[in-house]
Amino acid sequence: MKDPVIISVGGGKGGVGKSTITTNIGAVLTTRGFSVGYIDADLGGANLHLCLGIKRPRTGLQDYIKGRYKHLNEVAVQTVIPNTWLISGASDILELANPNFAQKQKIINNLKKMDADYILVDLGAGSDYHITDFYAAFPFGIVVIDGFPTSVENAYAFLKNGIIRGLVHLFRGNKELQNRIRNFSDPVSKKGFSTVDQLIGNLEKDYTNEVTIIRQWLQSRKTFLILNMVKSGEDIRIGTRFAELVKKYLSIPLHYIGYIIYSPEIRKSIRAMHPFILNPQNSKTKECFVAVTQNLVKVTQNPYLNP
Ligand SMILES: Nc1ncnc2c1ncn2[C@@H]1O[C@H](COP(=O)(O)OP(=O)(O)O)[C@@H](O)[C@H]1O
Ligand SMILES: [Mg+2]
């Protein structure tokens, strides 16, 4: 059995369409013959099950975290999309909204053993470490923005915090280095180091080997940008500008893999608890999902390729 390709779907802001995009990309992947697993890591605001046509999931992540089931695959349920399963994040237990690091690590490690060609990890809104740890854990990540300035800012903060979390985890036990990484600040406040390149430059003298590890980690990551709810050509340019900003300040390439147009049909399908892409009619919106997924497949099946 091949390891699954695990992709997180985040972006900082709520309501930009992370769960919608997760649902429909997964559905397009199944039409290409891939099996797909979904995991709702939006603990506290979980609703991916509704997008996937499940009113009340029988089991979910809470049962695994609480130890009611030993194996992650025991808490997965089938969805209305053939050839997919879901591990739901829905829970009545408030404390599970923010699992601790060990619990998260256990989920992350065991997710890799699950049976699927692709696993899509739907993240909650925000950019604190409860969320960004999931971005940092997997080499592939999708960032969704909707073209509004707030979504661009939130996505930037999400990526920056995700990178810092990832780098800090590389050096567990080295408190001094971890603190120097944490002090890396954003370009707006002008405190500390404004770019990841500057941070690396500053560390180079004291931490030669570690800087090599940092560089490798940054280069090993593939982050994809999707622009959602696009209404005009200007919206599309926001995506290109955002990718440039991320490259300049955060030193990770952000691959723009396409946009999804604004479509009232999507809203309707969510209300009907029916994944949009399963509608038999062809539409421009459907074409967008297919194009984005094709780009994603190209890169994830051959990581040396850029879209
Ligand atoms: N391209 C789109 N066009 C129109 N409505 C959309 C689009 N993408 C998502 N939506 C709607 O926006 C709302 C928020 O989407 P959702 O996927 O739940 O966002 P998130 O997971 O980021 O919080 C939903 O009602 C959904 O139907
Ligand atoms: Mg969501």
Residue 237 CB contacts under 8 Å (≥ 6 apart), including other chains: none
For ligand 1, atom 14: residue with the closest CA: 15
Short-list 133, 63, 129, 128, CA closest to 92? 63
Task: Give the residue carrying structure tokens 């903060």.
Answer: 157
Q: Is the pLDDT of residue 175 over 80?
A: yes
Average pLDDT score over residue span 74-91: 95
Pocket test for ligand 1, best of 24, 230, 266 (most atoms within 8 A of CB): 266
Q: Give me the chain's average pLDDT, please.
A: 90
Of the listed ligands, the closest to the CA of 12 is 1
**How is residue 257 written in tokens?**
């893999």
| Residues across the chain | 307
At residue 189, the pLDDT reads 53
Distance CA 66, CA 204 (A): 43
Task: Give the residue carrying structure tokens 């005009």.
Answer: 232
Give the 3-state secondary structure of 197-226: HHHHHHHHCCCHHHHHHHHHHHHHCEEEEE
Domain spanning 5-301: CATH superfamily: P-loop containing nucleotide triphosphate hydrolases (3.40.50.300)
Ligand 1 atom closest to Cα of residue 285:
1
Boundaries of every domain in the chain: 5-301
Assess contact for 265 and 22: CB atoms under 8 A. no
Q: Which residue ranges have their beta carbon within 6 Å of ligand 1?
A: 14-20, 228-229, 260, 262-263, 266-267, 270
C-alpha 142 to ligand 1 mean position (Å): 15
Please spell the DSSP secondary structure of 6-52, one letter per residue: EEEEE-SSTTSSHHHHHHHHHHHHHHTT--EEEEEE-TTS--HHHHT
Pocket test for ligand 1, best of 151, 230, 270 (most atoms within 8 A of CB): 270
What is the model's pTM?
0.94
C-alpha 8 to ligand 2 mean position (Å): 12
Distance CA 120, CA 66 (A): 23
- Let me know the angle formed at the C-alpha of 220 by 41 and 164, rounded to the nearest 5 degrees: 60
At residue 29, the pLDDT reads 97
C-alpha 299 to ligand 1 mean position (Å): 25
Q: Is the pLDDT of residue 210 over 90?
A: yes
Share of the chain above pLDDT 90, in %: 68
Average pLDDT score over residue span 205-229: 95
User: Edge-to-edge strands of the sheet including 36-41?
Assistant: 77-78, 84-87, 36-41, 118-123, 5-10, 140-145, 222-230, 254-261
